[in-house]
A and B are shown apart, each in its own frame.
Chain A
Amino acid sequence: MPFELPELNWWAIAPVLAITLTGSLVMVVDLFTQRRRGQGHLAVISLAGLAVTAALSLLLWNADEEAAFGGMIIVDRFAQFFNLLFVFVVAVVVLMSQEQLDREDFHPGEYYSLLLFSVAGMMLMAAAGDLIMVFLGIELLSIPLYILTGFSRRRIESEEASIKYLLLGAFATGFLLYGIALVYGTTASTNLGCVAQTLGTRSALATDLCAVPALTAVTLPAMLLTGMGLLIVGLGFKAALAPFHMWTPDVYEGAPTSLTAFMSVASKAAAFAAILRVFLIAFPTLVADWGFMLAIIAVITMVVGNTVALLQQNIKRLLAYSSIAHAGYILVAVVAANELGLLAVLFYTVAYALMNLGAFAIVILLGRRGEENLLLGDYAGLGYRQPVLGALMTIFMLSLAGIPPTAGFVGKFYIFTAAVQADQVLLAVIGLLASVISAYYYLRVVYLMYMVEPARAYAAPARAPWVSLAAGLAAAGVLVLGIFPSQILEIAQASVRFLG
């Protein structure tokens, strides 16, 4: 049985390789360096590796679009866009972690390398041209996160979050895999292009490698639909779509704050990248089926996220529900399934990354060793105790609520414009009304900061220059994107025509 190895174009996965190598390097260096000499050098190595990764992605930006590794990996601007986003996010998270590592006695070598490995998984998801690659990416993303979630050994919640995440994640993986199996069983391929071709769409990814199916979608639509439904479950879990979102609040609350920020932003973005790839490349013919289903899920997600968030007292939990709601918004753009929708997803992931990272940076800044100050009441009077922190938090909250002139507004604007263009007017209306509800709890943070006197005295937060830098960068980004969205839009516009 001759088995021909496909041509391996290592260049196509250069960013992934770079980041994986960086992670490994961090681990190795960590082995050979003295403990307790500070972990600054590891951060520097990580950031340097990220810089290299970013450079490689930029080089690939102008490379020809192609499918590499026998169609497993797609090299296109869409992938590079996400690569850059992930690199940016993880860089900010590295900055944000400086305080946390110290405060919680993290083991920096493992921390950084796991973070970087996780990013490698995300990159593979965004570049996936095959359901197998989607699966592998998810797992590579998740397993380091399971570990990192339990990293706060001092807090009992951390390990609880970890086990919950792991069990539910593995459970969801089961669904995802079964979904892949059923799709494979119907179309005889896991390659997105081949699936599309079998289902009757011409795809640039489809090659002569695609097998002629023995069973077609025409004869077995039920199996295909079941497979697709299970894919929705598996991917929806990662993206925290209701009703597969249940892990989110618990895990976000339990995980170290910097990691929560990372998860809420990066793994969500990766999940949506994969969702876009899978549904837009493989199942465009079934858009009537999954479109409506995703629309319903989007509505449920927005309602669940926003209404439950109304009752939260813990800022991390509040942001967790908020992130669920935001997943709902992004899903609206996916449902729109048009070019503007893709643009909106890309823009929104960037905007959301900025504002959420910023918000979490403030959360970190407010805590001290042994005193996390995570309750909303701890924000009372912050605007006067710490005017700069208060102002930044206000910007992030307004952006999350979608008030102009912030990135969050522009992002929502594109999402719902896309929905309107796709004649999903009702969805747009529901989404916007949901964001009105959301304004309530975001504003709650704001009014606590400015309109309520603190119940007790708070010690001045520790100086954390790197975290402050991260927050400042995020705020600047939120405003720049809100007022001059043109630059990012151009880049996003260049990235929306993915190979498929």
Chain B
Amino acid sequence: MPPGFALPALPATVPTEAYVVLSAVLFAIGTLGVLLRKNALTIFMSIELMLNAVNVAFVAFARQFGQFDGQIFVFFVMAVAAAEVAVGLGIIVDIFRSRRTVDIDDVSWLRG
């Protein structure tokens, strides 16, 4: 992007650091959700949370740099996340059909 075409700088009411901290907290919550929940759907949601934490960070950085790049990235992430969810839900449904459960700990036949 040629210089000079940057976004108009807004008054910095909230510092970037705060957004980054927020995203880190969200990411941590998402991570913990993955680790602590047994329900496959909940885990999925936690992963979505992690991805959205990333989005927050991207937007914040993009805003700070006055760039589009980070914001564009967010769209990619959202699109990909949607695709992942679609596939994931399909698989989970499949699992539920065959095992009558979505408890991820019950899906532990393969090991060693």
Contacts and interface: CB of A to CB of B under 8 A. Distances in A.
A132 B58 CA distance: 12
B19 to A, nearest CB: 10
B99 to A, nearest CB: 8
A184 B110 contact: no
Chain B interface mostly helix, strand, loop or mixed? Answer: helix
A167 interface: yes
Contacts of A181: 23, 54, 57-58, 61, 70, 73
Interface residues of B, number: 52
Interface string A244-258: 000001100110000
Interface residues of A, number: 49
A105 to B, nearest CB: 16
B66 to A, nearest CB: 8
A162 B83 CA distance: 15
A211 B67 contact: yes
Contact of B57 (A163, A178, A212): A178
Contact of B34 (A156, A166, A171, A190): A171
Interface string B66-89: 011110110011001001100110
Contact of B80 (A136, A162, A250): A136
A178 B54 contact: yes
Interface stretch (A142-150, A434-442, A484-492): A142-150
Contacts of A139: 80, 83-84
A100 interface: no
Contacts, number: 139
Secondary structure at the A interface, as helix, strand, loop or mixed, is helix
A189 interface: yes
Contacts of B44: 167, 170
Contacts of A4: 1-2
A164 B110 contact: yes
A161 interface: yes
Contacts of A253: 110
A177 B68 contact: no
A317 interface: yes
A182 interface: yes
A165 B112 CA distance: 16
B94 A214 contact: no
A150 B51 CA distance: 24
Nearest to A146: B87
B87 A190 contact: no
Nearest to B20: A185
A167 B89 CA distance: 11
Nearest to A142: B84
Interface in B37-77: 40, 43-44, 47, 50-51, 53-54, 57-58, 60-61, 64-65, 67-70, 72-73, 76-77
Contacts of B61: 181, 184-185, 188
Nearest to B1: A209
A189 B1 CA distance: 11
A1 interface: yes
B69 A190 contact: yes
Contacts of A182: 57
Contacts of A1: 5, 7
A253 B87 CA distance: 21
B85 to A, nearest CB: 9
Given A1-B7, A160-B107, A184-B73, A170 B30 contact: no
Given A171-B34, A211-B65, A249-B110, A163 B77 contact: no
B73 A132 contact: yes
Nearest to A311: B112
A4 B90 CA distance: 39
Contacts of A156: 98-99, 109
B100 interface: no
Nearest to B80: A139
A190 B64 contact: no
A76 interface: no
Contact of B40 (A135, A136, A167): A167
A173 interface: yes
Given A147-B87, A156-B98, A211-B1, A167 B109 contact: no
A200 interface: no
Contacts of A311: 112
Contacts of A147: 87, 90-91
Nearest to B108: A160
Contacts of B104: 163, 167
Given A174-B27, A181-B58, A185-B57, A160 B109 contact: yes
Q: List the 7 shortest-distance A-B pairs measured between CB atoms, nearest first.
A: A174-B50, A250-B110, A181-B57, A177-B54, A185-B61, A188-B65, A139-B80
18 contacts: A132-B76, A139-B80, A139-B83, A147-B91, A157-B109, A162-B94, A166-B87, A171-B50, A174-B47, A174-B51, A178-B23, A178-B53, A178-B57, A180-B73, A181-B23, A189-B69, A190-B73, A254-B110
Given A3-B68, A150-B91, A160-B107, 6 more contacts: A1-B5, A163-B40, A163-B95, A167-B88, A177-B51, A211-B67
